[in-house]
Amino acid sequence: MNKRRVGAQYEELAARCLEEKGYQILERNYRCRQGEIDLIALDGSCLVFVEVKYRSDGRLGDPAEAVDFRKQRRIIRTAAYYCYSRNIGESHACRFDVVSVLGSEVRHIENAFMYQR
């Protein structure tokens, strides 16, 4: 199975996990020049940008560790463009979550990182 198909499978798993928690999925695989965001959802009135990371085992570490500073900056820039393109003001609550899948264990990390001005 190719990486894109595997990624799509685990993004779907993450979306179902979030929906079970009451999140409303707005976008899947949002792409623009700034980058890509796996899932964009609403948690109540809070806009949530979600990065999904999968590893079959722990040999390379926890999947969430792959969301390093450079990846965070790219996600933040992409989220800023998403908000700009949809006229979502800076006063609207948002956060950045990570869904980490290690083998069959799914872990949702709310506020995994924050936007620093």
Enter the pTM of the model: 0.91
The 10s digit of each residue's pLDDT in 35-86 is: 999 999 999 999 999 999 988 776 777 888 889 999 999 999 999 999 999 9
If one counts every other C-beta atom within 10 angstroms of the C-beta of residue 1, the result is: 6
Q: What is the dihedral of CA 48, 84, 11, 43, to 10 degrees?
A: 20
Arithmetic mean of pLDDT over the chain:
90
